[in-house]
Structure 1
């Protein structure tokens, strides 16, 4: 039994978790969640005091490692958070040293996509693999890479930024680039695509039932489009046909370049699998190398809504198994 501490740092809220892992299973023993403090120094102090309180609630726990999951960019080797867009003021903040000195255990730091990959690999849909790609497919599109049985973060923690790949010269904007993988395959990107298509339909006098007026258009969400597609709306179905095709094209690149045995996709894919899977698999068959595709399965993430808490714990487990130099 391994007792692990986890810290999940978000732009609006943070969570500190105490968990116990045994073999291929993990259990959350306790958790404190709170709004993200106004300064990084307040936050670091709160992380330490929250974890100390959780350990007092569980006197049987013998903490062995702590993991931190945070949006990038960051320097995982130095333990530095490097001004993530959702954390203003967090410029070269050492998140690792205060926790390591306070608790005397290894502390790991990874970006949220890498942390999600570790969690799915250790406890979710990627268990038992040596080569796995995890795609976030939520607010944005990022990847965590497990290659040859270990996390691959690249030279300076920038590996896996697949959302920046351009799939078309024009299209919805993601990662600051029109027509990118993230533009077509993220919550924000799908909403952009839907608004454009619906605006064209309204101009033709063919407003869809799920978005009748310009006022509705301004607040249109990916979730609404997904619900309309599941109810058979032709325009919503066509929007998801485009998304599925672009997702398949992006996956084909990953299959051909990385030759993974499993691609695990979270959030939107898991929720919209019946709509997306047939289109994705057809596109993969058309685009990817047959020998590479033949050894690769595409599956939805297995950890569901628990992935945020388990991601930080998986970073702790990774720090314990393979401590950074």
Structure 2
């Protein structure tokens, strides 16, 4: 590789860590660094230092936890909105990087970035429509439809949909500070920690994962009927439990009850192809962030988003 060739930067800005990466002109990741998410000033300064040491830099893409203003031209573009993450509400994550490094910066949500990464280089390669659901500290969905990331009034906030809540089976009131027992309030890693008193990775009771699979399957069913994606990728820390996805697939078949029939999966083999884990593993988000950067500063054959 030419040592003077520009590189592209990507940031997966999560609630617990920022993963920073640089990639070559083709999007191949060259190096990464993990920065703990502490205060906005400390975290952003560490990201700036990472990229300062890796110039010349062509552009940066950021996939951040939200909600966040992703509307270019908006007076609050690049600002985190009403997040429950302490200290991060109304923080501008774009301007400090753009001003200090002097390069274009393109922003989207962390789940949209993960969807983009999987669509371009992972589970969605060759498909027109892909949804990525993260089940981790929070719950969110990003989607690529006909080659473009989904935006509208703002961006999808699928983690806050309502799902059936059987208070006899699950008397937990929910952990969401805004809605209580929305999907995120019932199925996120934070919800599991509060409900059971331990983090998800330390829970091994089958009944715990049966309940979690119920909520995730309900969410996947809603996503299937609302968006009609050709594949749904389920990632995030909670989804790493090996019992979860098989249980989600089985429950989803029962919930769908054969409706509407093919091409919606109607048997276990088809369901295995329809609901998958991320092919890129933990790198979906940062790979997608690099793709945002490549679109912000197009190469001769720029990616279309």
- Cα 1:106/1:322, change in 2 over 3 Å: farther
CA offsets 1:264-312 (integer angstroms, 9 cap, x no match): 0003465224x23343223322333323523871101122223343242
Correspondence for 2:70: 76
Runs of 4+ in 1 over 6 A off after TM superposition: none
1:307 has 2:284 as partner = yes
Q: How many angstroms does 1:222 deviate by?
A: 1.5
The answer to whether structure 1 residue 248 and structure 2 residue 242 are counterparts is no
Counterpart in the other structure of 1:212:
none
Aligned to 1:238: 207
Q: Which residue of 2 aligns with 1:213?
A: none
In structure 2, what is the equivalent of residue 64 of structure 1?
A: 58
> What residue is the counterpart of 1:265 in the other structure?
234
Structure 1 Cα separation of the partners of residues 8 and 86 of structure 2: 25
TM-score when normalising by structure 1:
0.73
Partner Cα distance (1:38, 1:246) in 2: 32
Matching residue of 1:8: 12
Contact in 2 for aligned 1:145/1:153 (Cα 8 Å) = no
The alignment partner of 1:243 has SS state of helix
Measured in 2, the distance between the counterparts of 1:309 and 1:292 equals 32
The question of 1:161 aligning with 2:161 is answered no
How far apart, CA to CA, are the structure 1 residues paired with 2:16 and 2:249?
36
Higher RCO (CA 8 Å, separation ≥ 6 residues): 2
Query: What corresponds to 2:245 in structure 1?
Result: 277
State which drifts further: 83-92 or 159-168: 83-92
Take 1:115 and 1:299, find their aligned partners in 2: how far apart are those partners?
Answer: 17
Displacement of 1:106: 3.3
SS of structure 2 residue aligned to 1:8 = strand
Contact 2:163 2:219 in 1 (8 A): no
**TM-score normalised to the size of structure 2?**
0.77
Equivalent of residue 224 in structure 1, options 202, 211, 236:
202
Residue 31 (structure 1) aligns with: 32
Q: Does 1:188 align with 2:194?
A: no
C-alpha contact 2:15 2:85 (8 A) present in aligned 1: yes
1:110 pairs with one of 108, 111, 115: 108
Tell me which residue corresponds to 1:50.
50
Cα distance in 2 for partners of 1:284, 1:3 equals: 43
Give 1:137 deviation, angstroms.
0.7
- Asked whether the 8 Å contact 1:252–1:287 carries over to 2, the reply is yes
Return the alpha-carbon distance in structure 2 between the equivalents of residues 277 and 15 of structure 1: 25
* More helix by percentage: 1
Residue ranges of structure 1 left out of the alignment (5+ in a row)? 56-61, 196-217, 229-235
Q: Provide the C-alpha distance between the structure 1 equivalents of 2:304 and 2:70, rounded to a whole number of angstroms.
A: 11
Contact 2:189 2:238 (C-alpha < 8 Å) held by counterparts: no
Higher strand share: 1
The residue aligned with 2:24 is: 20
What is the distance in 2 between the residues matched to 1:312 and 1:29? Answer: 14
Over the residues paired in the alignment, what is the CA RMSD in angstroms? 3.1
8 Å contact from structure 1 (residues 117, 133) kept in 2: yes
| CA-CA distance at 1:99 after TM superposition | 3.9
1:168-214 deviation per Cα after TM superposition (whole angstroms, max 9, x unaligned):
16444143334432234322223344x2xxxxxxxxxxxxxxxxxxx
Q: Distance in 1 between matches of 2:193 and 2:236?
A: 15
Q: How does 1:74-223 map to 2 (within 5 A)?
A: 74-78=68-72, 79-83=77-81, 84-86=83-85, 88=87, 91=90, 93=92, 95-100=93-98, 105-157=103-155, 159-168=156-165, 170=167, 171=170, 172=172, 173-176=174-177, 177-193=179-195, 195=196, 218=197, 220-223=198-201
Q: Secondary structure at the match of 1:246?
A: helix
The alignment of Structure 1 onto Structure 2 pairs a total of residues equal to 278
Structure 1 residues 87 and 71, CA gap change in structure 2 (3 angstroms): farther
